[in-house]
Amino acid sequence: MTTIHIDRLRKMYKEQVAVAETTMTLESGQFVVFLGPSGCGKTTTLNCVAGFEEPTSGRILFDERDVTTLAPHERNVAMVFQSALLYPHLTALRNVEMSLVHAGIDAAEQKRRVAEVVELLHIGAVMHKRPGALSGGERQRVALAKALVRQPDVFLMDEPFSALDAALRNSLRSELVLLQKRLAVTTVFVTHDQVEAMTMGDVVVVMNAGHVEQIGSPQDIYERPASRFVAGFIGSPPMNLVDGRLEARAGRTWFRSESLALALPDALVAGVGAKAGESVTLGVRPQHLDLVDAGPGPGEGQVAVNAYAVERLGKENIVVGRHGEQVWRVIAEPHVQPALDSALTLRVRPEAVHLFGARS
């Protein structure tokens, strides 16, 4: 059981900032996911924890132990990569056993541990095969076994399932989560796939351009995104984000943009700390908009759009509308299929909106 402290970590490649000053604590036994777009610094942060990269400044601690300058093999971490790193000339069994060869563990204990991980990962039937004769899923299971068998203090995984097909990815995700809960080894898992992050992580660290945007449970980051970036990145279809201004009128605070005027809940405005006249971004998820009958013109809290596309998902449709350059997505019943370019009116549910000011 190891708690990982990342303390003011910074990593530069010449002039380029790969990781800006980052501090976080990854609690013992947690499954932590680093999530963000390509190039945001996930792998670099993971590699600093693993010992493959030396930080430009800052420290990495495992519990109280400063491991910043230790080599990977001195940290007792096990790593799993996107493509399984297996010796091609050895059987799956020998590959797993090789992990223990230099560990000074007696033969009986080696045998017991190997048998345990083979059973945990359901790979008994393929252990006599060489990697070339294994399917992608089997290879990745063997790579997991190789990592698990060492009983590391920390498990580090860099997009281990991204080369697999969707069905296999799904089943391996659930298996890995179960396994991790059973072993309670602190785990850091890197992905750019939000579904993977949301379904697997106890904690998700959302990164963007070398910075941490938000750390929280999947529910937290979905329901209470801390920034415009997180709001737009988490959720599919994405949240509608509209730039506008705050306006004080008739004792209320209003959001006003070219397409929408909406009286805002007081608590929401207070939470953002923005004042009348300031620029803000309003966010509303596609399931929190309703298609309503058009009146003589859009009323308060309503938006006039022209239907631009309908994405049919079977259980529901995503109706895409445009108001000038602004795109609005709304989730509608499957029978709702407006003609392209027809005029539609959307109603924003005020209790479900998010607001982002310059400081959030």
The correct pick among 2, 9, 36, 62 for binding ligand ATP (CB under 6 A) is 36
Draw the binding track, 11-30, toward ligand ATP (x: CB under 6 A; -: no contact): --x--x-x------------
Q: Where are the alpha helices (DSSP H) in the chain?
A: 42-50, 92-101, 107-120, 136-148, 166-183, 194-200, 218-223, 228-233, 266-272
**Taking CB under 6 A as the criterion, which residues in 190-249 touch ligand ATP?**
192
In the complex, the smallest distance separating the C-beta of residue 80 from ligand ATP, rounded to whole angstroms, is: 15
41 binds ligand ATP (CB under 6 A): yes
**Which of 38, 359 has the CB closer to ligand ATP?**
38
Residues whose CB is less than 8 angstroms from the CB of residue 147 and which lie 6 or more positions away in sequence, other chains included: 78, 79, 80, 99, 155
Q: Does 188 bind ligand ATP (CB under 6 A)?
A: no
* 262 near ligand ATP, rule: CB under 6 A: no
Please provide the DSSP assignment of 74-105 as one string.
Answer: GTTEEEE-SS----TTS-HHHHHHHHHHTTT-
Q: Which stretch binds ligand ATP (CB under 6 A): 34-42, 178-186, 325-333, 345-353?
A: 34-42
- For residues 183 and 159, is the Cβ–Cβ distance under 8 A? no
The window from 32-40, 67-75, 249-257, 308-316 that contacts ligand ATP (CB under 6 A) reads: 32-40
Q: Are the CB atoms for 233 and 194 separated by under 8 Å?
A: yes
Return the residue of 2, 22, 44, 281 that touches ligand ATP, per CB under 6 A: 44
Question: Which DSSP string corresponds to 22-40?
Answer: EEEEE-TT-EEEEE-STTS
Q: Is the dihedral of CA 177, 183, 184, 188 positive or negative?
A: negative
Nearest approach in angstroms of CB 332 to ligand ATP is 34
Binding residues for ligand ATP, how many (CB under 6 A)? 12
Whether omega before 237 lies within 30 degrees of 0, making that bond cis, reads yes
Stretch that binds ligand ATP, among 40-48, 92-100, 160-168, 248-256 (CB under 6 A): 40-48
- C-alpha 69 chain-centroid distance: 28
Which residues make up the interface to ligand ATP (CB under 6 A)? 13, 16, 18, 36, 38-44, 192
